[in-house]
Copies of this chain bind each other. A is one copy, B any other.
Amino acid sequence: MARNQDESAVRAVVDKLVQAIRRKDVDGAMSVFGPDVVSFDLGPPLRHGGGDDFRRHWQALFDAYEGTIEYELRDLVIETGAGVAFVHSLNRTAGTLRGGMRSARWLRWTACLVRRDDQWRIVHEHLSVPVDVPGGKALLDLQP
């Protein structure tokens, strides 16, 4: 497959995930990940894997919001090789949490993909905010 076809296919995976997050569609979100995904997520633990735990994690995230979720990617970079790709971007997520509190922040996002049986899937993702190490604080309000 040519490089620009691979890039289009990877971009389609990213778009599918973004659309799934916006409408809180767990099946849609799960469909872009490989079964053996290794996730370094915003919250603990240090690392989690795929399967039912991963699905419950997404369900809990979506359930925390009252309505739909705003999710926008800025400065998306896509690099594709033969069967291996990575993407990174700054993602703004916002919405109204159950209870009525407004939540809005910027996250750093890296996703790593492999192509198996002609399907690109995310096999690793890393989502975070910077921290103030001496103060022990999460820096949740930084702007790009």
List residues of A whose CB falls within 8 A of some B CB.
Answer: 38, 40-47, 77, 79-86, 88, 90, 106, 108, 110, 112, 114, 123-124, 126, 128-133, 136-140, 142-144
Copies per complex? 2
CB of A88 within 8 A of CB of B124, answer: yes
User: A40: nearest residue on chain B (CB-CB)?
Assistant: B108
Asked if A88 meets B140 with Cβ closer than 8 Å, knowing A46-B108, A112-B112, A132-B43, the reply is no
CB of B131 within 8 A of CB of A45, answer: no
Contact of A133 among B83, B84, B140 (CB under 8 A): B140
Known: A42-B133, A129-B131, A138-B138. 4 other contacts (CB 8 A): A46-B90, A46-B129, A47-B144, A110-B124
